[in-house]
Structure 1
Amino acid sequence: MRKAYSFNARGTCTSTGKEIDALCVFFDTKHSMSELVFFDELDESLPQLKTLPDCVVIIADETNLVSLQENWTTSTAQQHIFQQRGMRKNVPFIKSYYFVAWDPTAGLSVKNAHGSGGAAANFTLPIDSFISQGLHGLIDSNPVVQIAPAGHVFRHPSKTVNKLFIQARELATCEVELAFVGRCLAHRLKALTLPQLSTVFIDSMGIYSIVREALTFANSRAVIHSFHSYAELSELSPPTEPYAVVISASTSGGMARTLHSDQRFDDERILTLIDTTRSGRTGNVLIALDDLTPSYRKPMADGTETQIEIFGEHFSSKAKPPRAVTLGMPHEPKPLRKFLTRFGRQGLVNLNTQPAGRLAPRLVCLDSNVVASDTELLTWLKHEIDWRVSVAIDHIIHAGDTGSQTLAEAAANVLQAAKGSAIRPAIISYTDLTDTILNRAKGVLVVHAVAGDGGLLREISRDLREFLTSDVPRHFLAGVGLPQSEETWQRLQQFLVRNPSTREYGFSTWLVLPIGSEGTVNAWQGLSKCAEKAQMELPSVSGVSKSILTQSVDLAVQSIRDADNGFLPTSSGASLSLSDGFLFFGDVFNGTLNDVPESTTYTTVASVLQAARDMKVPANQLKPNGYESVVLSPENFLRFNDNLLQACILRAAHPSELDYSSSPHLSCLMKEFLLKVFSRHDHAYGAASLEFAAALACGRMKLIAEDRNEVQQKALEKLSSGPSALLGLVCLMA
């Protein structure tokens, strides 16, 4: 077992301003160490580095550092051999050797420094920075951070949902690493070194050994009390004696915030071992993950993933490689051709348009007036009322938009004719509902021309429960349903028809086409956030002049703004296009393809993807399960190679379905395809290059890091000579 923890660190000499590389070797000196063991540890640490460092930094407790330095000075032969390892062609690459003492009160200090060959030491070291990098090395080498498989997220005990699960207990996997982390904890949280400290609160027994090591280092006899995460949090109160609080890990900072704001614990006595960031956090953070890599700053979930509930402190993730799905005829939704025939040319308005009477824009918006005037729908309405609607209905409630009102008027006429009555059913907007209006109602028909997931129908149903007794018949009628999934629509129906009476209420729909979930952030919103970030912080990209980089990013941002209701253009600025022969259009638009709006193509692709998620055949189903993730095969971008179709797939797919980072094979296939797209961006083959670059830049599409870097570097080589929106998006991939 090793008695030293070594890591490479990089920093700036505080006296000269020069960048220096250092080999840091921390010695656990609980037991005596012979000169042979001492030099063996140094010799074993050096070959692990790819390049020779500028200096070697030996770190140990102050009481034991003297014996280590004696080993260095008295064993001249061993010292000479080790120094020779730091030379190339008689040139000393390792220029200095430092002995750093670690004291619980005084902290870290250089006690002795030796230059190579008897010369003076060259540098003034940023010791604290080196120690932080040593902690980062433990994050990289140990299984501390678990990332949920594609299509999954973790649901934490705090109810936070994201892609990360942090196991702080894995930070130290051996005795010497435990000694290092314990000293780092005592160094960062000064409350642990106070002589009068009586109690240390911890949220998990998994970090008991780390906290105990820190207290042993500080010569403290404080008692450690575990409050077991959120179970006993509300019962805690600050003791009168000096105390400290150590939280194992957090992704939201919620526990530290609650302890300070609600339980009144002093934030200077609170420390979280590992958090995703330091920004906006209560108390101290020992390790912030976004200091290691900026990828932790990106959104972690989009709302469409399967949740993995976390209980306790243990979790292990072993999954099969992702299964790739290629779209084809088995994935065509049955109602699609009918939908395209009736509404494909003029029913769908532009993407991200605000429907009449609604506060927020909708990604896919079907004109309710076009639906309400459809002759086939009106024919169906008559037959549905004749066969399925109760004769007792004398009040019709519509959803408030003009299309629903028109459909309600048509339903009233059919009901009046069917009953042969001179009295027409009363027509009411749902915004005007009161108990007095419905106090004499014998039956109610609720009409909605175009329903999404049916949220408004649910709201009306809840109001009717307040205004009517359960034995009053009611029937819910939707012209067209555009829900997230088949399951969503089935749940809506169950909610509407079930009631305390002995009979179910009625429910009718003419056409239902599931189009998938927009998630918490849809593709347009995600790209807009990426553009906002680019304006605040210019990416760091080598090989591109600053002026060209700035102009390119500005062009990319402007392209994103201009495409709020559509897609990014080709590299020449032209709109994306579609040719005849799209599999899922069939012969619906033969000879009239120019009349088809982009929103129709997007809705078609979105419905096909959702049909793939909803289908029951496991081999073709675009849906992950507990042990297997699923992605869209790169073959889809070759099969559907019109640039508009490629853009629609990129925007309509869930991010997890474009996550190739866990499959070297699929990532390589996607890399080869992207290299061709970017190299031929000014040809028809690569006309959707801006869309592919945008998907990579905002994180919707993910490759293995090496593949992503290769795609970016080769694209930069071809594009860096002049400013362009494509170059700007490629730079944002960093």
Structure 2
Amino acid sequence: MDKSFFFNAKSICQQTKFAIDVACMFFDGRREISSVEFFSELQTALKSNDTVPDCMVVIASPEVIVSLQQHWGSTSLQATFVARGVRNQVQYLKAFHFYAWDAEQIVEHYTQVTTPGAPQFTLNITDILNQGLTDLVARNDVIQVAPAGHVFKHPSGTINKIFIQARELAKSEPQLCFIGRLIVARLGNDVRSDLSMVFIDTMSIYHYVHEALRFLGSSARILSFHSYDDVKKIVPPSEPYLVVISASTSGGMARQLHESQGFDERRLVTLVDMSSQGRSGSVLVALDQVDKQLKKLTVNGAETEIELVGEHFSSKAKPPRAVTLGLPHAPKDLKAALKYFDATGFSGINAGEQPSRTRVVSLTPPAIQVDDSFDNWLNAEIRWSVSASIDFIVHTNDASSLALANRASAILADAKGHGPVPILSSADISQETLALAKGILVVTALAGDGGQLREISRDLREYVAPLLPRHFLIGTGLPQSEEAWERLKQFLERNTSHRRYGFSARLVLPTGPDNPDNAWRALHGLASKAEVDPLEADSVKPEVVTQSLRSAADALQAASNGFLAKPDGTELSLSEGFLFFDGVYQDRLAEVPPAAVFMAMSCALQAARECKTPGNQLKPSGYESVVISPECFLRFNDNILQACLLRATLPSELDYSASPHLSKLMKEFLGKIFDRYTHAYGAAALEFAAALATGHLRLKQSDQEELIDKAIEQLRDAPSPLLGLLLLAREA
């Protein structure tokens, strides 16, 4: 049975300004402690430390602290214990402090130094108590992180990677009493006095609040409003009250109670929150002060949601399933699309505007020509599928779509045996311009998820009768996913009649999520960090650190429209035999832009996500996450293919932290990449280091630390962009 709550803290002596290590013990006073038990607890606490602390702090109620001081006065037991702080004839344990803690304040009751002339420490006891609460959060599994490829959907509607179980804060009676006293310590004197009722958002924190009231000597009633179910029903009562919220990741409930329902924020307390900044009321413990890594757990929108109902949740995820890219993932229309756009159809990376854009890859509309195969398809599609009543053509406002509209007009004229069909730009349609239309053909050379087509469809619903036939014809569709394309098709086809409008597309090539926070955006933020944030590395000279960070920032900025260069400064390159090119650019690799390689890899990854064979599908379920197999980086071993694979994957697909086996494999592979970064094998080393630094690629923490430390040790003598990125990765 626990007789005390022990934790370690670090403090700054208020008088000398020296940093000191403090071992703290809190006794709840629920049962009488004998002198033997007291010293036994002290010895257990001291043994649990790897190093001897500078001082020990004993905390208890005023009545109990007097008894503990009397036990401390036992000369023989005290001398034996003090001797345990001696190492190599040096007394490291310099002082003992006894603090009395009641409902009003915590004050120093007694202090004793271990040897004459030892320093007297002036402690910030409030900060030390807060560190005790932080210790409870880390010790008692209060924080649940969603498995790789998953996110939590909270009752408030907030979606993130964190779920806080405040009910797990205390695992023993001394810990429970410690939390109750800290709740009281956070309240102002005007709030503590004469409390009549306490609102709580869940009964799972009843015992904390009950303990706080017992400590105050209050008989206030405790009322639960059951989280977001009934929070809107409560109003500030006329008698003195307090509201205690179990946990929050956004501060939303406290903000709602204060701003919308009129509760006094002095009377709002949240036990655990992600941050204490910008919150209504006080926060007992802020997680961004417990683990700074939690702020870096971002959501990209492609994860599987775990919906939380109540606070009773825990997860033990299966190890992620690894998927190896191969022939089963070759996109059906990729070869035809690459032939159609050819090498000249790509504007570059991060170089275009909507609608001529597929994710970060831009296609140049003037380069999209109507070739023979396209013309054959267009001719057959119009003659076989387009309604005979079509007598107007509307095209999206770009040159390629105008060329397509002109060709469609000629085919319709030939099929009907009369003059060309009138053509309108989407910018010119109105009720007047379409007044004589009996049927409308809407054409576009290139569509993503169909934003412009949706706008045209909505305009047509306003300008012409719903029973007027219409047909939507698309040269090439580049949606984010098959699902997005199906939604577009349904939107354009369906109307108020039992018939459907026509819909045709020659090529449909899902390209993957068009996430605005893509890999390039993340690297831009990393470049800013390299320029602004000072870093220190014990094993690396300061001037080498500075030059390496500057070189890393320059390399990142130079790659804003492409990929990070090889260590010798040349661009990444491709050799013959890329599986997903399927011979399209045979003997013409010098003409192939990086954007074409990236689009091919991105489309292959999306095909893997939508693969119908469960074992080959790169898609998480509610029970299992998936990752790209480390073997993929060996199969696609050209440096530009490795870079494209890193950039086109979702963060969850490169999260190996939940699998010791896969993490070790990836660690060994990366170790060889960094070790041989001056050779062809490691030419993509900067890309891998940047992925680690942004958190896009994650290993088990121990593997990642060992990998980075070893690489830094090898590179520490000379400044380099790789060293700079690895230093940033170590700080991530």
TM-score greater than 0.5 by the shorter chain: yes
Comparing 539-548 with 384-393, greater Cα deviation is found at: 539-548
Q: 1:437: Cα distance to partner? A: 2.8
Unaligned runs of 5+ in 1: none
Please show how residues 439-458 of structure 1 align to structure 2 within 5 Å: 439-458=435-454
* Cα deviations by residue, 1:238-277 (Å, 9 ceiling, x for unpaired): 3333332222211122222222222232323222211112
Match of 1:599 among 583, 589, 595: 595
- 1:607 corresponds to which letter in structure 2? C
Q: 1:144: Cα distance to partner? A: 0.9
* Cα deviations by residue, 1:281-304 (Å, 9 ceiling, x for unpaired): 232221111112221222521111
Q: Tell me, in whole angstroms, the C-alpha distance in 2 between the residues paired with 1:325 and 1:512.
A: 24
Residue 77 of structure 1: aligned partner: 76
Q: Tell me, in whole angstroms, the C-alpha distance in 2 between the residues paired with 1:477 and 1:299.
A: 42
Q: Tell me, in whole angstroms, the C-alpha distance in 1 between the residues paired with 2:453 and 2:433.
A: 19
Q: 1:688: Cα distance to partner? A: 0.7
Structure 1 residues 292 and 356 mapped into 2: Cα distance closer, same or farther (>3 Å)? closer
**Maintained 8 Å contact 1:352/1:361:** no
Match of 2:128 among 105, 111, 130: 130
Q: 1:491: Cα distance to partner? A: 2.2
* Residue 50 of structure 1 pairs with residue 47 of structure 2: no
Please show how residues 408-557 of structure 1 align to structure 2 within 5 Å: 408-422=405-419, 424-557=420-553
Q: 1:117: Cα distance to partner? A: 5.2
Q: 1:580: Cα distance to partner? A: 1.2
Please show how residues 544-623 of structure 1 align to structure 2 within 5 Å: 544-623=540-619
Residue 360 of structure 2: aligned partner: 363
Q: Tell me, in whole angstroms, the C-alpha distance in 2 between the residues paired with 1:189 and 1:336.
A: 64
Structure 1 residues 397 and 491 mapped into 2: Cα distance closer, same or farther (>3 Å)? same
Q: Tell me, in whole angstroms, the C-alpha distance in 2 between the residues paired with 1:50 and 1:382.
A: 80
Q: What secondary structure, in the 3-state scheme, does the structure 1 residue paired with 2:319 have?
A: strand
Please show how residues 85-164 of structure 1 align to structure 2 within 5 Å: 85-106=84-105, 108-116=106-114, 122-164=120-162
**Maintained 8 Å contact 1:412/1:425:** yes
Q: 1:595: Cα distance to partner? A: 0.3
Q: Tell me, in whole angstroms, the C-alpha distance in 2 between the residues paired with 1:520 and 1:712.
A: 29
Match of 1:677 among 652, 673, 680: 673
- 1:328 corresponds to which letter in structure 2? G
Comparing 224-233 with 26-35, greater Cα deviation is found at: 224-233
**Maintained 8 Å contact 2:536/2:542:** no
Residue 656 of structure 2: aligned partner: 660
* Residue 172 of structure 1 pairs with residue 147 of structure 2: no
Please show how residues 700-711 of structure 1 align to structure 2 within 5 Å: 700-711=696-707
Q: What secondary structure, in the 3-state scheme, does the structure 2 residue paired with 1:354 have?
A: coil
Structure 1 residues 433 and 200 mapped into 2: Cα distance closer, same or farther (>3 Å)? farther
Q: Tell me, in whole angstroms, the C-alpha distance in 1 between the residues paired with 2:6 and 2:262.
A: 40
* Cα deviations by residue, 1:53-95 (Å, 9 ceiling, x for unpaired): 111111112232111111221x333323322332234432222
* Cα deviations by residue, 1:550-601 (Å, 9 ceiling, x for unpaired): 3322222222222111111112211111111212222221211000000000
Q: What secondary structure, in the 3-state scheme, does the structure 1 residue paired with 2:345 have?
A: coil
Residue 229 of structure 1: aligned partner: 227
Q: Tell me, in whole angstroms, the C-alpha distance in 2 between the residues paired with 1:723 and 1:365.
A: 36
Q: Tell me, in whole angstroms, the C-alpha distance in 2 between the residues paired with 1:9 and 1:223.
A: 35
Match of 1:632 among 628, 631, 636: 628
Q: Tell me, in whole angstroms, the C-alpha distance in 1 between the residues paired with 2:459 and 2:100.
A: 72
Q: Tell me, in whole angstroms, the C-alpha distance in 1 between the residues paired with 2:261 and 2:540.
A: 52
Q: 1:361: Cα distance to partner? A: 9.4
**Maintained 8 Å contact 2:358/2:478:** no
Please show how residues 202-351 of structure 1 align to structure 2 within 5 Å: 202-351=200-349
TM-score, reference length from structure 2: 0.96
- 1:374 corresponds to which letter in structure 2? D
**Maintained 8 Å contact 1:6/1:25:** yes
**Maintained 8 Å contact 2:359/2:511:** no
**Maintained 8 Å contact 1:192/1:244:** no
Aligned residue pairs, count: 730
Comparing 211-220 with 425-434, greater Cα deviation is found at: 425-434
- 1:690 corresponds to which letter in structure 2? L
Q: 1:372: Cα distance to partner? A: 4.2
Residue 11 of structure 1: aligned partner: 11
Q: 1:548: Cα distance to partner? A: 2.7
Q: Tell me, in whole angstroms, the C-alpha distance in 2 between the residues paired with 1:558 and 1:303.
A: 30
Q: 1:719: Cα distance to partner? A: 2.2
Structure 1 residues 361 and 198 mapped into 2: Cα distance closer, same or farther (>3 Å)? farther
* Cα deviations by residue, 1:444-464 (Å, 9 ceiling, x for unpaired): 212121111122222322232
**Maintained 8 Å contact 1:27/1:59:** yes
TM-score, reference length from structure 1: 0.95
- 1:305 corresponds to which letter in structure 2? E
Q: What secondary structure, in the 3-state scheme, does the structure 1 residue paired with 2:586 have?
A: coil
Q: CA RMSD in A?
A: 2.0
**Maintained 8 Å contact 1:193/1:215:** no
**Maintained 8 Å contact 1:345/1:597:** yes
Q: Tell me, in whole angstroms, the C-alpha distance in 1 between the residues paired with 2:509 and 2:352.
A: 20
Residue 381 of structure 2: aligned partner: 384
Unaligned runs of 5+ in 2: none
Q: 1:654: Cα distance to partner? A: 0.5
* Cα deviations by residue, 1:402-460 (Å, 9 ceiling, x for unpaired): 222221221122112211123x3332222333233333322121212111112222232
Q: What secondary structure, in the 3-state scheme, does the structure 1 residue paired with 2:346 have?
A: coil
Q: 1:327: Cα distance to partner? A: 1.1
Q: Tell me, in whole angstroms, the C-alpha distance in 2 between the residues paired with 1:415 and 1:397.
A: 14
Q: Tell me, in whole angstroms, the C-alpha distance in 2 between the residues paired with 1:584 and 1:205.
A: 57
Q: 1:710: Cα distance to partner? A: 1.4
